[in-house]
Every structure is written in C-alpha cells, then in structure tokens.
Amino acid sequence: MNAHRAVSRTALALAAAVALLCAAGPAAAPAAAQATDTGSADFTRYAAIGDSLTAAFASGGLHEDVQRLSYPALIARQAGVSSFQQPLAGAPGIPPLLAIQGLGPGAPTIVPRSAQPGAPLNLNLPRPYDNMAVPGFDVHDVLVTRAGNQIVNLILRGLGTQLEQVAALQPTFVTVWIGNNDVLGAATSGLVIEGVTLSTVPQFDADFRNLITTLDQLVGADLAVATIPDVAALPFVTTIPPVVVDPVTREPILIGGQPIPLLGPDGPLALDDRVLLTASPLLAQGIGIPAQIGGTGNPLPDSAVLSAAEVATIRDRTAAFNAIIRDAAAGAGAALVPIDDIFEEIVAEGFPVGGGITYTTDFLTGGIFSYDGVHPSPFGYATVANAFIEAINATYGGSIPEVDLFPFVFGPEGSAGATIPDPTGLGSLAGAVFSERAGKDLLESLRVFQRPGRRRPAPGPDPSEPGGAPEAPIERSPRQEGRSPRGF
C-alpha cells in the first residue's frame, strides 16, 4: 500500500468513525479561558496519542496516582486546560503495581502488590478519553487496532482505533509520542525478529507519515511530536552485568584478576552483551553461572540476553525511526521534542535537581525510573512534560510555565508508584530480584508475548490486489537461525 493510498483509506475510516462517535456522545467541551499564554498553539481541545509512556504506565501497571501525573495531564494543567480525561485505574493498579518485598538480609524481591488487578474508575465516560495512549501500541496499532488485552480494551472500549477516537474529539492540539514499541519489544524480549519484535523501516515510515499527515491535514490540529529514546540504555537492559557478581558486595568475582562471564545461549557472554532484568530469578537459581563456582552450568535462555550485535541492530533501527519522526514533524510544522538527545544526556551525566542532588537512570535508586526498569517515575514523567512544554513554547511563541519539580523530589508526587531511596546507602537494592511473575505481567501488558503471532506485510503493493507483493519473510537473529555460537 503506498503512502497516498494509506492516507486516503485512513481518511475514509476517520470520516465514518467521527460520524459514529459524534452521534454516540459529544466531543470534548472547550476549555475555559487559559491561564497562561500558549502563543499560537490552540489548547481549546487537547488530546494525546501514544503508548505506555504517554499513558503514565509505571512500576508494571496503570494506577490513578501516577496517571494524574502523566506528562499530558501535566501539560494540560500548565496550559490551563479545564478538563483532561484519562482512563484511570484504581488500586492496586491494572495490572497490580510492583513493590519491593523484603529489605532485610538477602536480596529483596520485586513482586506484584496483589494477585488481583484494580477496577477502572471512569469506564463509562460518554466520549473518547483526552489521553488515548495505549500501553503496548506501536505506530501501526494506532492506525488499525481496535481491541486486544485487558488494558487495550479498557482504553479503546470498542469505540474505534486510537486515531479514530482522537479525531472524533476534533482536537485543536495533539501531542504525539509513539514508536517506542516499534523497537522496545526487541529489547525486552531479548529476541530481535525483523517485522515482529522490531518494526521494519518501510512499515514505520508509511505508518508514521500516515499518522502525522492525518492529524495535520485532515484533523487540522497543532502538533508536538517526540522522538524515541535509546531502549538499549534502559535499566531493564543495563542493570545486570554480563559477569558473575558477589551477591553481598555486588562487585564482579575475579579469577586471576579477570571477571567470570555469565553463560548465555551461545556460551560465555562478552562484556558488551546485555543481560535483562528478567534473568534475575534465573541467576538466583544458579542458571547462567558456571558450575565450577557454584552455579548450575546451564546457560541463560535467549529471551534473557541481548548480544552486542542485537543491541547495535536496535540502536540503528531507533536512529532510522528518529530520522523519520524528525522529517515528518518538520513537514507538519510541529514542535519537535528531542527525547533521544535528552535521554542520552541524562544517561551520561544524570539530571541535577539542585541542593547537590542528581537523579540518574540507576535501577531503583536513581529516581528517574520506576520499579519495572522501563517506565519513568513521576519525576521522570514531569521532566518529559517540561521537555514538551519547552518545545511547544519555542515553536508556537508561548510562555506556558514549566512543571515545578520540587514536589516530585520532596513532596507526595514523587512517591506515587515510584522508587524508594536505598535505606543502607550501599547500593543494596541493586541486587533486587525481578520475580518471574513481575516480568510476565510487564511483558504481557506491553504485548511483547503477543507480537510473535503478528506478521505484518511491509508497505508496497497490496498483496490482496493483482500483482501484489507477497508478505516479507521474517528475519531472525543469528541465535535463532542456529548459526555457530560466538566465542568469548
């Protein structure tokens, strides 16, 4: 399907969806007189498109305490929007948020707070939500997906695709931060599968430009668009070193002055390979640890490891997607939020908040990420809101005030489903075990386990039409093809 045809079909679908949704309920009511100068950006009706990062997913689930601090909700507050509706989830969250169990002797464990999820709090809102972000969605999902797992159905409610529902609100301003899951599934699953866990460049290009063109030309909204961060630098990927560590000191065990590599699916891991947080319960059982130093001698599975080559593939693909995002945003005259550059700087230098305090991307103790190692804490979401506000002000000539970070450092906002400081000051929380249930809930919520069943054709001639191209074959990583293992 070429780009022109894709936009045409989206336009027809949107026209039908808007008519249906407007008949079912009113669009968002115009906001009251704005308290701040938004410049030429019209926030009369503000909507947000995105994935788990826009939905304020944190510590493995959705919870109203964090959702009310989502970056779109913070932007709406700062821009003077009078009503901004979101699909709020009651305690203990959907799925239940993660918690740290046990701070005494031994490694603490990260587990779900409950066996039962909470309940939706405004499921019967008679119109689409203003924050329509759906955890686990990639760009293609925004255009075509109407149903799915519990979280997908909680947000979409059978009222149409994410884009159709946003269009039905007739928004005057839309923020777009989507595309993270076009690369994230490869990082969190440990499996780099072309067209399955990693979207193809042609598919992403067609889908993203379709989305931006629709919002810009058909919906007519002002836009702010964000790039994708380096998912290979998330704590979920970087926390566990590829070598055996002392469980007490958390320092590498040395033999002959050299660290002992963990055992991966291809043999001993290299120092630039990555071990995922989901490997922590396996390591606690001795899996991945050589038998001569007390382990089982059994290797970690492919799903718990990213090779250096796979990391490079993910990063190259992220760079390609960000080039598309930048070009599409420029073509629409949108405000560009360079999250990739901002995150790279935070990874390298941390985020100083004053008083000698610097937040970092360290797992559990850094303050920027929540207990799942993938999604920000409320502080992290507030910094994202400020990045959007800065870009919006610069592009549209406004003076929207940035979010005050003080309550997120010293006040109650910072503790909403977030991290806790290391009580010992010795980094003891760094050895926390990410339980199997915690990992399963997280990956299912992000639809990682569902993606291998989705085979999408690359953009081009429609396979259903005469002369159409067949579906592109799935390319697998060297480990999956059974190629010779890498040496250490």
Residue 15 has pLDDT above 90, yes or no: no
- Torsion angle in degrees (nearest 10) through CA of 13, 15, 16, 17: 80
For the segment(s) 3-236+308-453, the CATH number from 3.40.50.1110, 1.10.8.60, 3.30.2350.10, 3.40.1370.10 is 3.40.50.1110
* pTM of the shown model: 0.85
Q: How far apart are CA 291 and CA 301, in angstroms?
A: 17
Q: Which region among 270-274, 290-294, 350-354, 478-482 has the lowest average model confidence (pLDDT)?
A: 478-482
Which of 451, 370, 455, 447 minimizes the C-alpha distance to 414? 370
Residue 8: which pLDDT band, with cuts at 50, 70 and 90? very low
SS (H, E, C) 384-446: HHHHHHHHHHHHHCCCCCCCCCHHHHHCHHHHCCCCCCCCCCCCHHHHCEECHHHHHHHHHHC
Q: How far apart are CA 212 and CA 326, in angstroms?
A: 11
Q: Which region among 56-65, 95-104, 260-269, 330-339 has the lowest average model confidence (pLDDT)?
A: 95-104
**Residue whose tokens read 């079912």:** 24
Residue 295 has pLDDT above 90, yes or no: yes
Q: Which two tokens stand for residue 209?
A: 């430009």
Q: Tell me, what's the pLDDT at 246?
A: 87
Residue 14: which pLDDT band, with cuts at 50, 70 and 90? low
Residue 486 has pLDDT above 50, yes or no: no
| 235-289 tens-digit pLDDT | 999 999 999 998 778 889 999 999 999 999 999 999 999 999 999 999 999 999 9
Helix or strand run (H / E) with residue 255: strand 254-255
Cα angle 416, 404, 349 (rounded to 5 degrees) comes to 85
Which of 324, 51, 332 minimizes the C-alpha distance to 205? 324
Q: Tell me, what's the pLDDT at 429?
A: 59
Q: How far apart are CA 92 and CA 360, in angstroms?
A: 27
Cβ neighbourhood burial of 220 (10 Å; 0-12, 13-18, 19+)? exposed
Q: Tell me, what's the pLDDT at 249?
A: 80
Q: Is the dihedral of CA 83, 87, 89, 95 positive or negative?
A: negative
The CA radius of gyration of the chain, in Å to the nearest whole number, is 22
Residue 375 has pLDDT above 60, yes or no: yes
Q: What is the mean pLDDT of the chain?
A: 84
Q: Tell me, what's the pLDDT at 424?
A: 42
Overall average pLDDT of the 44-52 stretch: 98
Please state the separation of Cα 396 from the chain's center in Å: 27
Report the percent of the chain where pLDDT is more than 90.
70
| 80-129 tens-digit pLDDT | 999 999 999 999 999 999 988 865 555 788 999 988 999 999 999 999 99
Overall average pLDDT of the 33-42 stretch: 80
What phi, psi does 296 have (nearest 5°)?
-80, -20
Q: Which two tokens stand for residue 128?
A: 């689409």
Q: Tell me, what's the pLDDT at 412?
A: 74
Which residues neighbour 308 within 8 Å (Cβ) at sequence distance 6 or greater?
270, 272, 273, 274
Q: Tell me, what's the pLDDT at 316?
A: 98
| 201-230 tens-digit pLDDT | 999 999 999 999 999 999 999 999 999 999
Q: Are 155 and 67 in contact (CB under 8 A)?
A: no
Cβ neighbourhood burial of 417 (10 Å; 0-12, 13-18, 19+)? buried
Q: Are 75 and 205 in contact (CB under 8 A)?
A: no
Overall average pLDDT of the 352-368 stretch: 89
- Per the omega criterion (within 30 degrees of 0), is the bond before 268 cis? no
List, as one string, the DSSP characters of 343-381.
HHHHHHH-EEEETTEEEB--TTTSBSB-TTSSSB-HHHH
Q: How far apart are CA 71 and CA 429, in angstroms?
A: 27
Q: Are 261 and 488 in contact (CB under 8 A)?
A: yes
Residue 360's CB is within 10 A of a number of other CB atoms, namely: 16
Domain positions in the chain are 3-236+308-453
Q: Are 179 and 325 in contact (CB under 8 A)?
A: yes
| 120-179 tens-digit pLDDT | 999 999 999 999 999 999 999 999 999 999 999 999 999 999 999 999 999 999 999 999
Q: How far apart are CA 108 and CA 438, in angstroms?
A: 13
**Residue whose tokens read 């901004």:** 84
Q: Tell me, what's the pLDDT at 9?
A: 45
Q: How far apart are CA 52 and CA 45, in angstroms?
A: 22
Residue 357's CB is within 10 A of a number of other CB atoms, namely: 12
Q: How far apart are CA 259 and CA 354, in angstroms?
A: 37
Q: Tell me, what's the pLDDT at 488?
A: 26
Residue 323: which pLDDT band, with cuts at 50, 70 and 90? very high
